């Protein structure tokens, strides 16, 4: 036990780092990316786990490692295939950025995975958190990670209500994290802090009884922990109206690749019309997409509401019977059975399921 200097005051501390590393050794979860120190696998796991729970990301990690055992395999992969494997995980720019970063490693780093924080952060999709995670876990560099878990644990431990989504908060908690880490097993230190956040110092009903930090935790001792951490911003949810057209004939179907700087960039969808309010059937019938094709009938199928963090999407689905498929620059005509080969938004997957396709 000794004192450390934090925020210009001396705080009683029982060697914070040793304590959490000891706890980690006893309580860490058995996770596949913890069985080795391959920077490629560490990187893959870190990208997958951004804004994603371990339980959700785990099967994706296994799929990628099996499909692409090395960074070289990943770099040589087709982006559409990488996205297809990513299907359902969300934040698809992560997959596109990984593919880009893999080629950066092959071209700019001679196929050798970068070894330092400074180099790692140059990779696309690798920010301060991920660079610190890889550098500390794979290469024992003493750099502190600050993720959602660390914000929660430290804001409670120091009873600090500085908003974590303010630039001041980002700097403050990075500074605190930097002061706590030691050169001895920095990777374990970082993982320990996150593991405590994930398993003990949870957002709701934290298990302070079994927390190795509770005796010196100000948030616990002052009973303020349930109000920490503080976030200042509110997310605003926009409402969008999508009308999807299911053109199908003799086992063929039209799909379209999304390439705008928008949701689902790089994924495939059914031909779609976006309107600023729910589209009525009369407007649909006289829409250019319908008028310019040999349409025999239009049949309403179903409506789905797709709720996301920043968007609430109201989707209507129509089955359109065609006399024939006309040549078209915006849509691709594929065998319906091949839909499995394309990365589709979960909304489309849901539609195909409920409509028994």
Residue 26 is a binding residue for DNA (CB under 7 A): no
Half-sphere exposure of 31 toward its Cβ, with a 13 Å CA cutoff? Answer: 22
The answer to whether residue 203 forms part of the interface with DNA (CB under 7 A) is yes
Q: Does 178 bind DNA (CB under 7 A)?
A: no
**Toward DNA, which CB reaches closer, 26 or 236?**
236
Site string for DNA, 275-314 (x = CB under 7 A): -------------------------------x-xxxx---
Binding status of residue 35 toward DNA by CB under 7 A: no
CB 104 within 8 A of CB 73: no
Q: Which is nearer to DNA, 51 or 215 (CB)?
A: 51
What separation in angstroms does the CA of 349 have from each of 163, 212, 245, 287?
38, 44, 14, 25
What is the Cα–Cα distance from 68 to 77, expressed in whole angstroms?
A: 8
Instruction: Tell me the per-residue interface mask from 51 to 90 with DNA, x by CB under 7 A, - otherwise.
Output: xxxxxx-------------------------------xxx
CA–CA dist 352, 350 (Å, integer): 5
Q: Taking the complex as a whole, how short is the minimal distance between the CB of residue 87 and DNA, in angstroms?
A: 7
Using CB under 7 A, pick the residue from 8, 9, 35, 205 that binds DNA.
Answer: 205
Closest CA relative to residue 130, chosen from 225, 21, 30, 48: 48
Q: What does the alpha-carbon distance between residue 215 and residue 165 come to, in Å, rounded to a whole number?
A: 28
Catalytic residues: 46
Residue showing tokens 């968007």: 311
Give least dist CB 210 to DNA, A. Answer: 16
- In the bound state with DNA, the residue whose beta carbon lies nearer, of 315 and 320, is 315
Residues 6+ apart with CB under 8 A from 48: 57, 60, 61, 64, 89, 94
109-138 binders of DNA (CB under 7 A): 124-131, 133
If one asks whether residue 262 binds DNA (CB under 7 A), the answer comes out as: yes
Q: What is the rounded CA–CA span in Å between residue 28 and residue 335?
A: 47
Residue with token string 């951490």: 229
Q: Could you tell me the smallest distance in angstroms from the CB atom of residue 185 to DNA?
A: 15
- Chain residues that interact with DNA, rule: CB under 7 A: 31, 33-34, 45-46, 49-56, 88-93, 97, 124-131, 133, 147-149, 151-152, 166-167, 191, 194-195, 197-198, 203-205, 229, 231, 233-236, 238, 261-265, 306, 308-311, 345-347
């Amino acid at each position: 036990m000794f004192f450390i200097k934090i925020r210009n005051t001396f705080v009683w501390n029982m060697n914070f780092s040793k304590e959490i590393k000891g706890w980690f050794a006893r309580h860490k979860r058995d996770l596949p990316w913890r069985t080795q120190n391959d920077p490629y696998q560490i990187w893959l796991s870190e990208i997958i786990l951004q804004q994603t729970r371990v339980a959700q990301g785990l099967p994706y990690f296994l799929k990628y490692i099996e499909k692409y055992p090395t960074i070289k395999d990943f770099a040589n992969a087709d982006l559409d295939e990488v996205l297809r494997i990513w299907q359902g995980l969300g934040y698809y720019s992560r997959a596109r950025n990984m593919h880009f970063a893999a080629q950066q490693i092959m071209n700019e780093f001679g196929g050798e995975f970068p070894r330092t924080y400074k180099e790692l952060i140059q990779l696309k999709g690798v920010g301060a958190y991920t660079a610190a995670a890889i550098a500390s876990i794979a290469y024992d560099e003493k750099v502190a990670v600050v993720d959602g878990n660390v914000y929660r644990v430290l804001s409670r431990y120091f009873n600090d209500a500085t908003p974590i989504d303010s630039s001041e908060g980002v700097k403050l908690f990075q500074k605190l994290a930097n002061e706590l880490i030691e050169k001895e097993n920095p990777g374990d230190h970082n993982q320990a802090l996150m593991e405590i956040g994930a398993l003990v110092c949870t957002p709701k009903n934290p298990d302070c009884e079994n927390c190795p930090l509770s005796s010196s935790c100000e948030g616990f001792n002052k009973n303020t922990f349930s109000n920490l951490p503080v976030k200042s911003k509110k997310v605003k949810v926009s409402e969008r109206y999508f009308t999807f057209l299911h053109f199908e004939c003799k086992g063929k179907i039209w799909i379209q690749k999304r390439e705008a700087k928008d949701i689902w960039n790089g994924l495939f969808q059914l031909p779609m019309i976006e309107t600023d309010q729910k589209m009525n059937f009369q407007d649909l019938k006289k829409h250019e997409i319908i008028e310019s094709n040999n349409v025999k009938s239009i049949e309403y199928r179903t409506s789905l509401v797709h709720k996301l963090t920043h968007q609430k999407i109201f989707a209507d689905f129509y089955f359109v019977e065609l006399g024939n498929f006309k040549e078209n620059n915006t849509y691709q005509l594929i065998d319906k059975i091949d839909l499995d080969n394309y990365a589709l938004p979960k909304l489309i997957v849901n539609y195909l399921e409920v409509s028994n396709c």
